[in-house]
Chains A and B, each alone.
Chain A
């Protein structure tokens, strides 16, 4: 009997090879200077957001009316603002709100967008047409203008910012997910699931979803950078994060008027912080995209 039982082609060597390739994607990422630089900057800001009050040499809120508008010095590395608060401490702690609001807003948009995209791509036809009209209508709304209107009518709270930006991002993500699902649903494993009598939710969420995870990941990182920008813009327009938060955009709004008077440090370091955070996310999203698309 043993001779009939053909030894199966040995998968060992091949399997090892494939596993190596997957490990190589991570190795690629770790070796990619883009990814490393982006991660270091992001990690720095995450640490600041979590441990800010501990790291900061002064309280970001402590006013010192005797030392207002002081230029950077060894006592106050980034100088002090119009109320004599330590700018360095404010920049450090100022990362907290944005790093809570922007990721939550993006996450909300991604989850909703993924669900909408799965429905559109999977059912096509009428579902796609109807949802598609909504998506197109939403896509036509400019994020900041809509945000301004929503925040001024619904009230200014972090929750409203998260919901507004999340909803505005939903159609963008839905569009990407829909395109990926349209390709996936033509594959035979979906037909095999139909032949097993699987229901639509199972096919969408268990069979298809894991296979469209890569484009969702890329879209998430791209959107995150935009979300940071949008939140800070709204804050700058005084509709977002509210005082006394040491938020960067809030500080810029409060201090830009005194720049002509020569107090540049009260704006510059906040601006640099914003730029570095956005750039770090963009670097990460570029390298993730590159690694996934090989």
Chain B
């Protein structure tokens, strides 16, 4: 599977056009174009390029930037990775909590006004354009109310000592309270923006499955045993409804990454997405290719992990 993905990336990025002219803007002298092509190995026949590509990948070599050329792309990506990780975890958690609880709330009040409102919410969130939503939040909370910062990860004076690269975690580990508060403040708006966008699908999924399950026999039997309502909803119904939600979480990962790219760009959050955006504006072909390969690999890895977790959660699969 991974091989296919990587090959697809290769095909897409090679066949679609000449990267060098794309980078140089098509007005550069031919000699210059030729020189760079040679330097990047683009003058060799396509199949040799492909083999080189795969061999390099096997050594985790994602190439070097076409423009600055010194540091390996992989290093540059990894530098930006923790920021994206922090944002992703934060937004993902937020979206699950928001989505699942609104879904449960909605399912319990089926066909009442609150339910319809939440169903509408589920549809709207999908249509939210992240850059716009981020803009609005920045305007309201950053510019007009002045409560929260609108860009970056932290005030440069208050950045914590880096241990994991996750600012919030690092602040806690180094017991740096001002830094913790500052990091969290910077994290809030991007999290909410991305989180709300992602939550819609969980709301709908949870609602649908909860409604189904709440009508099922074992829930009825649980009520007949006099179990408290809260236990019934959360311990039994939700647990059973959770399996398809878990599957969706795995599938949503791709969406999370795409959303992260937009969110990071909107909030100047220095993660992989922002990095990609930067390099796009420079038409730094090799870096872009490297980054996309990295993302593809990440996706496959996460799918694998989700499959493994799946086996743990559902006892029926095990036996």
The answer to whether A and B come from one shared complex is no
Residues of chain A at the chain B interface (Cβ within 8 Å): none
Residues of chain B at the chain A interface (Cβ within 8 Å): none
